[in-house]
Amino acid sequence: MLRQSGRVLRYLVVPSLVGAAWLALPTPNAEARPQYLEQFKKSYEPLAEQAEEKKCAVCHGMGKKTERNLYGKALVAALGEEKNVKDPKAVEKVLKAAEEKESSQKDKTFGALIKDGKLPE
């Protein structure tokens, strides 16, 4: 009887406790802002397919998601103190403000890149 209770403890109780502890660990929060991408695609329909492929990389580049490319930094500057803006008209206004900023390409604004059919970078 003692051998059987040891097996139950070893094969059932201990793994259950370990699994419960693992599930209780905190997970990192994602701070996705899909409304920005959706508004970008609506505002710049010719670039919608390219934007859908790149998704978050339109503003964040290909590195860490916490880092922004020049276009992402221009959007943050246009947003000011506001974060996670949900109003489509406000997001549209921010996108238009970012169009006027200089891109990484010589003598080209983000608006000029978009007009040429290229995603801002």
The 10s digit of each residue's pLDDT in 75-111 is: 999 999 888 899 999 999 999 999 999 998 988 999 9
- Residue in 41, 42, 68 with CA at minimum distance from that of residue 53: 41
Question: Sign of the CA dihedral 78, 66, 41, 36?
Answer: negative
- What is the average per-residue pLDDT within 17-24? 80
Q: Is 15 a domain residue?
A: no
Q: Is 23 a domain residue?
A: no
Q: Is 95 a domain residue?
A: yes
Q: Is 21 a domain residue?
A: no
Q: Is 64 a domain residue?
A: yes
Predicted structure pTM score: 0.71
CA distance 112 to 95: 13
Say whether pLDDT at 16 is over 90.
no
Domain count, the chain: 1
The domain containing residue 92 runs over which residues?
A: 34-115
CA distance 42 to 8: 59
Sequence-separated (6 or more) residues with CB below 8 Å from residue 36: 59, 75, 91
φ, ψ (nearest 5 deg) of residue 75: -65, -45
Q: Is 103 a domain residue?
A: yes
Say whether pLDDT at 30 is over 60.
no
φ, ψ (nearest 5 deg) of residue 18: -65, -45
Token representation of residue 46: 């010719």
Q: Is 16 a domain residue?
A: no
Q: Is 26 a domain residue?
A: no
